Amino acid sequence: IKREGVTVSDGAPTVWIDFLNYLRTRGEKNIEPLRKLIIGGSAPPKALIKSYWELGVEVYHAWGMTETYDSAAAFTRPKSYLDDLSEEARLGLVAKQGLPFPGIEVMVVDESGKPLPWDGKSIGELLIRGAWVVEEYYGDPEATKKSFLNGWLRTGDLVTIDGEGYIEIVDRVKDVIKSGGEWISSVRVENEAMAHPAVLEAVAIAVPHPRWIERPLLIVKLREGYTGKVSKEDILGFLRERLPKWWVPDDVVFVDEIPKTGTGKFDKKVLRERFKDYYRGSGL
C-alpha cells in the first residue's frame, strides 16, 4: 500500500479482516495513503468498519453478483451527511448494502412471491431487474425458470429495504437458520461475535437438532495470543447481551482456520457437512 501509493482499494471482508490482523500483530497504525475501502462479497461486520475508522479509513459496501456483471447497489451518501450522525447511526447506515444504481429496480418478496413493504423491518428475498441484469441462463431453461419470477432475478439474499430505499442483507436464503419455526440471521450472529475483542473470524451455521430442527453452531478463529485464554462461555456470555435468547448458539467450536471459497467468502457448505452430526445425541 505504501510502496504503490494506494488510496482506495476493495475486497471481501475476509481480506480486510486478515489485513487488520496483520497490522495489529505488528503494532502498525499508520496505513497512509490508504483512505477508503469498498467492501463486497458479503456484509462487512460493524466491528470491522469501526476498526478501520479508527485508522482513518472510510469503509463503504457495494453489492452485486455475477448476474449483474458488477455492482448494482452501493452506499452513496456524502461524507458531510455522515458527520452529522452519531457513531452508532453512522455504523448502522454504512453497514447496509446501499441504494440501487440508476437503471436498477429492486423488490423484496415473501416466500409466496408477494411484495413486502419498504419499512426496514419486513424480511424477504431481494428481486432485481435492470439494464445490466441478466434475463436468462444461456442453454439452461431449468435454471432460468428457477431463478426468475415474472422477469425479476431472484438473488438468494434475504433483505430489508427501508423507506429511503437502502438495502440491508439479513442472510442468504441457503444460510438462514430455521429453529423451532423462527428465523435466525447467521450474518447478525457472526457480526456480533466478531465484535468480541478475542475473535478474529466467526461463522454461524445451521446444524440439525433433534428437538428444534436446526440450531446455530458458532465456529470461531481467535486472534493471536488469545488461544487458551478465552472460553466458550466467554463468547456465549458476550452474545447473550447482544442477541435474542433463542439466537444465541448452543455451542462454540474453536478452530485454527476457517475454510474459505475461491472468492474469499467463508465456506459454510464445507462447515455444514463437517458438523452435521454435532448436536445429535448431545443433549443440548
Which domain CATH number covers 20?
A: 3.40.50.980
Element holding 137 (H helix, E strand):
none
H helix and E strand count, the chain: 8, 15
Instruction: Pinpoint the alpha helices (H) of the chain.
Output: 13-25, 46-54, 79-83, 87-94, 141-147, 186-193, 232-240, 268-274
Which residue range is the domain that position 236 belongs to? Answer: 177-274
Which domain CATH number covers 220?
A: 3.30.300.30
The whole-number pLDDT of residue 181 equals 87
CA 255 to chain centre: 20
1 located within any domain: no
283 located within any domain: no
Q: Are 3 and 30 in contact (CB under 8 A)?
A: no
CA-CA distance, 189 to 192, in Å (whole number)? Answer: 5
268/200 same-domain check: yes
219 located within any domain: yes
187/252 same-domain check: yes
Residue-wise pLDDT tens for the chain (284 aa)? Answer: 999 999 999 999 999 999 999 999 999 999 999 999 999 888 888 999 999 999 999 998 999 999 998 899 998 776 677 888 898 998 988 999 999 999 999 999 999 999 999 999 999 999 999 999 999 999 999 999 999 999 999 999 999 999 999 999 999 999 999 999 889 999 999 999 999 999 999 999 999 999 999 999 999 999 999 999 999 999 999 999 999 999 999 999 999 999 999 888 899 999 999 999 999 865 45
Which of left, alpha, beta for 192 (phi over 0: left; psi -120 to 50: alpha)? alpha
Which of 56, 76, 100 is a domain's end point? 100
Which of 171, 186, 221 is a domain's end point? 171
14 located within any domain: yes
Domain count, the chain: 3
pTM of the model: 0.83
186/238 same-domain check: yes
The whole-number pLDDT of residue 83 equals 81
57/86 same-domain check: yes
Q: DSSP letter at 284?
A: -
The whole-number pLDDT of residue 81 equals 78
The whole-number pLDDT of residue 282 equals 57
Q: Are 210 and 239 in contact (CB under 8 A)?
A: no
Which of 151, 171, 191 is a domain's end point? 171
The whole-number pLDDT of residue 82 equals 80
